[in-house]
Chains A and B, each alone.
Chain A
C-alpha cells in the first residue's frame, strides 16, 4: 500500500469523524491506521528491541509523525478484516485529496517557502515569494498562509492549495504578524522599521489602525481569549501590552535586552518573553503585568553569551515550554507550573517553580518552532544549517532533520 493510499485513508477518517465526536471512536484512532502502514518489520511479530545504533538509524529514516506503531512497540499485524475495510474506504473516498500535515518554512535568504509533507518528511514544493520572507501566520482553517515580506514591504496571502497569491497587504517592513484566531481577524503586524504595530482586516486588506511601539517591534501574540495583544520591542527592551477592545497601551514591561518573542500560556494567565541578548525568558502575569520570574539558561561547556533564546512554544496542557536558544543550537525544555502554582506566583514571589529540564541538540541557530496539531512533534527552523529539525515530544528526541531553503526563519504546521 503506497503512501498516497494511506493519505486517502486518513482523509477518510476525518470525514467520518465529522458525524460524531472527534477522536472518540477508538476504531478510527490514528494508531489503528498505523497498523496498516508498511513497516520494516515482519508482520505479526512484535518488534524485537533494536540495538542503540539501529534505533538511531531508524529514527533518522523518514516516517510520519502519526505512525505510532513501531515507536510505541505496538502490534503491527494487518488483519484481513481491517484490510478489507480499508479497501472499501479507499473506494468510497477515492475522490478525496491527499492529506497529511504540511509544514511551511520561510526561507529568509532565498525568498521561498518550503512546503514539507510530514508523511514523507521532505520538501514537496518550493514556493517563490517576495523579498525576505520571515514571519508567517496561518488562518485557523489552514487555507491561507500569510507571509511577511520584509524587503518587499508587503504581506502576501497564499492559498495553501494552489499556492497562488490571493491577496496582499502593503505595509512597510513587516517582520512578523499575528492573527486573532479563530476569527482570523484582525492581523497584527510588527512594522519593524517604523516602530509601529499596524492592524489589518485580512479579508478587505485594509488597515484598521496603527499603534506606536518602541524601537523594532518584533514578537507579537494575541491572548487565547483574543482580548490582549503583546508585542516585544527588540532594541528598546519592552514587552508592550495593548487591549484588543480599545487599542489602549495597558503596560510596558522592561525585560532583559533584545526581546524577540512572546507566547501566552494556553490559560491566558502568563506571557513568556524571550530576551535574545539577555539570555533569559521573562514570565509576566497578564492581569497585573508584574514580572513573575526570569528564567536563565546555562549549558555546560557553552559560554553564556551564545545562549540566545528566541522562539517559545508552550504545550497545549501548559506543562512544558520549549525555548529555542539560537546560536547555542539547542532548544530548552522548561516546565511550566500547574495551576496551583499560579496563584502562588500572583503574589510576586521569586521562587517560581519553573526549572529548565533538558536541552536538545538540533540544527544550527534554531529561532522559531511549531508543534504538530496533535502536539506529538515540534519542528524547529534552523537558520544557519538550512534545515528543519523534528523533535518527538514524548521522549524529547530529535528524530529527523529536513533540508529546506536558505536561512529558514520560521516554521508553521497545517491544522489538518
Chain B
C-alpha cells in the first residue's frame, strides 16, 4: 500500500505541470476555438530565455518572471501575427499554422541555444521530504510547483469571475458576435486569452525544466500529456484541465512505478483513445466533440 501511495504521490508534481499546460491549451481553445499545438514550443522557448536570465542574474524568481513576460508576449504575437490572419473559411488552416509556429520555434531555439540537453537548476531541494520516519516522494520543489500552480489557478479564477475583463473574456468565448454587439473589444480579448495561455505555459515550462532536460524538442511528449488531460477534462473546462492534469500525472506515476517509464506514453495514448471512443466530449465539457 505504501508503494502505491509513493508512486501516486510521486506523480503529483509532474501532474501539476501537465495541469498547467492543459490549462494553457484550454485557455486558447476557449478564446479562439483553436488548439495551440505550438504551446509547448512556446513554453520551451521561454524556458530557454529563463535559463539565460538565471545564468545572468543567478535568481530563479527573476528567471520565472522573465519567462512569464516572454510567454505572454509570445502568445500575443502568435495570435496577432499568425492566427488572426488565417482565413475563416480555411478550417484546417489554423491547426496547420500552429504546427508551423512550433517548427519555427524549435528550429530557432536550436539555432540560438544548440540542441544539446541542458539542465535547469532548482531553487529549492528536489529530494524527498522526511516526515515521521520515512521519506515521502514529495520534495520541497514539488511543494513549490504546487504552490505556484495554486496561485496561478486562484488568480485566473478571480480574473474570470470578479473582474470586468474576465467577464468580457467569458462573453467572447461564449459568443463573439453577441459580445461584439455589447461593446466588448473581441479582438483584444482573443489576444489577451492567448497572452494568458502563453504566461501559464511559460510557468509550466520553467517548473518542469529541472526534471526534464531542456532541449528544443524535449517537451514534445508533454504536449501529448497536456492534450490528453485537456481532452479528458472537456477541452472547455478550466477545472477539468487542472483536475485531469494532476490525475494524468498520478496515472503516469503509477504506470511508471509498477511497469517502467517506457510504458507511460503508451498508457496516456490508451487513455486518450479510450476517452475519444467512449466519451469524446470529456467529463467537464459542454461542447460537442463528435461532429459527424
Q: Do A and B bind each other?
A: no
Measured CB to CB, the residues of A under 8 A from B are: none
Residues of B within 8 A of A (CB): none
